[in-house]
A and B are shown apart, each in its own frame.
Chain A
Amino acid sequence: MFLSTLFLGLVLGGTYALLALGLSLQYGIARIMNLAYGEFMLLACFAVTMMFTSWGLGPLWGLLVVVPLGYALGWIIHSVMMRPLIKRSGGGGRLEVDTILATFGLLFVVQGLMLVTFGSDFTSYSYLDRGIGILGTTIAANRLIAFVVSLALGFGLYAVLIRTRWGRALRAVALAPGSAYLVGIDVNKLGRQGFALGGALAAAGGALVSMFQTFSATDGVVFTMKALIVVIMGGVGNILGALIAGLLLGLAETFVAAFIDPGLTMAATYTMFLAVLLWRPTGLFGKAGG
């Protein structure tokens, strides 16, 4: 019972982490709080569904298509829509407020486009839905894949950020956008790359989530909310933090559902969130003042 709950919790947590990785990058490195993040995930959901239902292209292959597209879309949005805001703000808190408003508008534009294109009905397809027995419980193969991919993405990104020169430059932009210039870092370029990378991760998350979750064109906010909680709990811009915060949330929800009361899962989530905000306002792994 304990082991199977632990395992179910980890798998659910992996999904949460998957939702949050891209947002964490976008907010941490590009300093853009992208409220339309969930809508971008949904775009990937729809794209993968269309490829699967009309061409028979499995969602895991679909990943190869939507991830580059997500990167490109992130790039374009950053260059066209965010660039003027960044220029105007000259760094500092105003950028956050401006981008929140701008992406809030973008949310409705994208949602409207999706409603017109795909309609408002629920969308779902079945792919690798069969159960796999592990640790005395049965888990859907597609959830397991999403879990493994989210761990791989999380640790992979962490390694890139820590080990490579490019990663170090990204972290420099995240930590001190005002000073990164001084050591020859093109802050704008790296900010754009960070934002685009976040777009690619959003696409990956959307594609994987669509394998097991029914979605509709108006569900973006749900994704964004979950991602936001995980990002803030993990510490803004901290990939490993987002991963661990996601897993913790999944574990908390599953244990509360199994041992206390399924009605209190939401309460557990927000209690944890509140506790983190009270005692570690910069997130579990955030640096003070960072």
Chain B
Amino acid sequence: MSQNTRRAVLRALPLAMVSALALSTPLAAQEEPVTIGYAVSKSGPNATGAGITTIPNYELWVKEVNEAGGLEMPDGTRRPIEVVEYDDRSSAEDLVRAIERLATQDKVDLILPPWGTGGNLAIAPLMDRFGYPQLAVTSVTDMAPEFAKRWDRSFWMLGGGHDYATALVETLAAAKEAGTINDKVAMISVADGFGIDLVKAARPAFEEAGFELVYDESYPLGTSDFAAILNEVQGSGADSFVAFSYPPGSFGVTKQTMTTGYNPKVFYIGVGGAFPIYGKITEGKQEGVMSIGGVDAMSPAVEEYFAKHTEVIGNPPDSWASAITYASLEMLEEAVKRVGLDHEALAAEISTGTFDTVIGEVTLEDNQLRKLWWVGQWQGEHFVAVSPADRDGAAAPVIPKPEW
């Protein structure tokens, strides 16, 4: 909807909205808008991730809040949101400059985080210096506890590689105990941040759980042809195939596996498996594929969220970080309602408060969201959460996975 328009237009738009609203809710028109700024990748290599997880949720949330009359303040008044948006062109320097500008020149009331671990780490010192709370949603890092301590107004909401890897091992170990899969695992990983984090945690965890890694290799980022790798994996005798991959590698692995007719009992891929496009990649044969994330498909809140995302944005959200991103915005909205726009009070409220969100009731632990879904699986139309298995809303994993 809102393209890469100039700031003048961005400023004019909400104002026009406000004046339109003035007819129906005369009170709202009196209020000064709340300015919310963000710098996201609208071009360059990060545009894909930001375009799937971050930007749609920002747009959806701003639209909803403004349609309700604006952001509610502690005194009950509602102030419309005015967005100041920059394109960081997927460059950390541009991102940092944009954040500086948002804080010092635009003097926005709140700053929303960029997409990705790297971007959030790049701006964390700056956000801390200017005192803005930073809801670092799309950051996966095992260092989150230390970061939360170092920058006390930063919030880390997507766990670390260690969490995802060990949860996967637990899920597979349960299947091995039940006798559904053998003790051999073939594992590949992308030689880049996230892939390395996951594989480093997975290796010892697999061994501890009594698995034998019959194939364990990494491949460079940007690899698009997996024929040679899968040729070997297929002959390895493993029942479980695990790929700690990034898109589009995840898609490449999937397509190659389908073409060769390789049917492991467990097929797990990394980032991209929870994306709505995955069903198209597999021509609707995604049943049983495991990946990162997952949602509680039985929850009415999640169902409603998927429906309105589809209606407003034009496609469903991804089933990993999208709902978390939206939940972080709901937390921000609720915190503003409780304590207003003062950064210190706001950070304290986000850190200690309890919030009702699309992913259920949320309370942060040491500035981190720990109530997350680590492993998900395609079951029917949904990418449902299967781990942690003992949490409410978890579905039982389907192992062995049906053939392609």
Contact = CB atoms under 8 A, between A and B. Distances in A.
A54 to B, nearest CB: 14
Contact of B45 (A123, A131, A218): A218
By size class, the interface of chain A is: 35 or more
A266 interface: yes
A131 B261 contact: yes
Interface in A95-149: 108, 111-112, 115-116, 119-126, 129-131, 137-140
B222 A111 contact: no
B26 interface: no
A124 B228 contact: no
Interface in B39-90: 42-45, 47-48, 50-52, 90
B245 to A, nearest CB: 12
A274 interface: no
Contact of B277 (A11, A121, A261): A121
Contacts, number: 123
B222 A214 contact: no
Interface string B236-253: 000000000001100110
B316 to A, nearest CB: 11
A135 B304 CA distance: 52
A52 interface: no
A125 B282 CA distance: 9
A9 B52 CA distance: 34
A254 B230 CA distance: 11
A289 interface: no
A139 B226 CA distance: 11
Nearest to A250: B225
A61 B281 CA distance: 21
B280 interface: yes
Nearest to A53: B280
Interface in B211-240: 217-220, 222-225, 227-229, 231-232
A53 to B, nearest CB: 9
A116 B45 contact: no
Interface string B156-193: 00000000000000000000000000000000100100
A56 interface: no
A107 B73 CA distance: 45
B3 interface: yes
Nearest to A125: B280
A5 interface: yes
B194 interface: no
A219 B258 CA distance: 24
A89 interface: no
Interface string A134-176: 0001111000000000000000000000000000000000000
A214 B247 contact: yes
B4 interface: yes
Contact of A218 (B43, B225, B232): B43
A82 B231 CA distance: 46
A271 interface: no
Contacts of B219: 257, 262-263, 265
A218 B51 CA distance: 11
B256 interface: yes
Contacts of B4: 112, 116
A126 B256 CA distance: 12
B283 interface: yes
Given A122-B275, A129-B259, A138-B261, A218 B188 contact: no
A266 B248 contact: no
Interface string A251-282: 00110011001110111000000000000000
Which are the 10 A-B pairs with shortest beta-carbon distances? A120-B51, A266-B220, A257-B228, A214-B251, A214-B248, A140-B259, A120-B47, A138-B260, A131-B259, A262-B219
30 contacts: A4-B231, A5-B231, A12-B225, A115-B43, A116-B4, A120-B47, A122-B248, A122-B251, A124-B280, A124-B281, A129-B255, A129-B259, A137-B231, A138-B260, A140-B256, A214-B248, A217-B47, A218-B44, A219-B248, A221-B45, A253-B228, A254-B225, A254-B228, A258-B232, A262-B218, A262-B228, A262-B229, A263-B217, A265-B220, A267-B220
